[in-house]
Amino acid sequence: MAFKKRISAGSAVFGAALLLSTTALSAATDPAGAPAPDPNISADYTIYIGGFMAAEGSIDAALTDDGYFVKSQLGIAGMPARFYNAQWNMTSEGELADDGLRPSRFAFVSDEKGKVKHREITYDGSGLPTPVFDPPEEDAIEVLPFERRNALDPVSALLLPVSADSNPCDRRIPVYDGKRRYDLQLSYDREDQVTTRNKGYSGDAIVCSVHVNPRTGMRQGKFTTMLQQRDNTRIWLAEIEGESLYIPVRIQVRTPIGAAVMDIVKLRHDPRDDADRVDTAMR
């Protein structure tokens, strides 16, 4: 019984890491089967809970002058994988505009102990997302159009475009994953030098505190309450050189069963105007 409770709480942490994204970047199969462009940003990451590995994943991001395509994979790993098999694949694509991201499609496939579920969100020209579930979600809570409009999907929320000399922490990120609508309020904490697990990233980072503001669809429990407290979640953002873009290289979340830490363990960047590969772990 204790182990089942631990797995259940761990699943909440995996969801929080995706939810906070706000994570981490294996090539997962695109849920819709469309061919993916070659990535110019790739990262592998791990999630440890209470000092033990609980999950690992990857993200591949292809950025063009006016668009983006991101593919993310997360799966249970370490000791929990001996008892519980689960994997989550996601893709997101859209426009990379001067004033932020404009997603056009988000797809999500979960495989938990052989039970597969699909979810797809498409966006119309006004930024209104519409979800489709397979199989249908009978207990999904309706999120009204005015709350969904212009909200980012969880994968797009990983990318933080900024103008010159702007503070990436000074922002509110509206997120809609097809079932839940919430805001991520980022606030500046400090500048830091960080070396992530396995020296996946070593260099400058800006640390933000994160406050989760549930809007619709998030059940209010102990874990959700902890996410709402600003001191319980922090995110380390590193700038991708030449992209005017920040991505998370570390996320720390306090959970009911101990600290959960997402660390980038390998980060690769191919500048769009340079064929030579730049490995930021060597900086």
Per the prediction, the chain carries an average pLDDT of 79
Q: Which range is most confident: 213-217, 263-267, 273-277?
A: 263-267
Domain segments of the chain as ranges: 2-282
Out of 1-15, 119-133, 194-208, least confident range: 1-15
**Does position 2 have pLDDT exceeding 50, yes or no?**
no
pLDDT, position 244: 77
- DSSP symbols for 190-259: EEEEEE-GGGS-EEEEEEEEEEEEEEES----HHHHHHTSGGGEEEEEEEETTTTEEEEEEEEEEETTEE
pLDDT, position 90: 93
**Does position 223 have pLDDT exceeding 70, yes or no?**
no
pLDDT, position 251: 92
**Does position 273 have pLDDT exceeding 80, yes or no?**
no
pLDDT, position 7: 36
Quick one: average pLDDT of 235-262? 85
Q: Which of 153, 141, 42 is nearest to 90 (CA)?
A: 153
Quick one: average pLDDT of 243-269? 87
Phi and psi torsions of 12, nearest 5°: -65, -35
Q: Do residues 252 and 261 touch, judged by C-beta distance below 8 A?
A: yes
- Please state, in angstroms and as integers, the Cα–Cα distance from residue 253 to each residue in 40, 85, 207, following that order: 28, 23, 13
Out of 13-27, 71-85, 87-101, 191-205, least confident range: 13-27
Q: Which of 213, 216, 235, 237 is nearest to 225 (CA)?
A: 213
Quick one: average pLDDT of 164-175? 83
Quick one: average pLDDT of 190-214? 92
Q: Do residues 210 and 230 touch, judged by C-beta distance below 8 A?
A: yes
**Does position 162 have pLDDT exceeding 80, yes or no?**
no
51-88 as b/e: b if 16+ CB within 10 A? eebbbbbbbbbbbeeebbbbbbbbbbeeebeeeeebbb
First to last CA, the chain: 46
**Does position 1 have pLDDT exceeding 60, yes or no?**
no
Beta bridge partner(s), residue 41? 61, 269
Which residue did the predictor score with more confidence, 132 or 17? 132
Please name the residues in contact with 266: beta carbons below 8 A apart, sequence gap of 6 or more: 43, 44, 198, 200, 281
Pairing state between β 278-279 and 181-195: unpaired
**CA 59, 256, 160 angle in degrees (round to 5)?**
30
- Please state, in angstroms and as integers, the Cα–Cα distance from residue 55 to each residue in 4, 13, 90, 112, 237, following that order: 16, 10, 16, 14, 21
pTM summary value: 0.79
Q: Do residues 27 and 12 touch, judged by C-beta distance below 8 A?
A: no
Q: Which of 107, 81, 95, 114 is nearest to 29 (CA)?
A: 107
Quick one: average pLDDT of 99-114? 89
pLDDT digits (tens, 9 = 90+) for 62-101: 988 778 999 999 999 998 888 888 899 999 999 987 667 8
pLDDT, position 240: 84
Quick one: average pLDDT of 256-274? 82
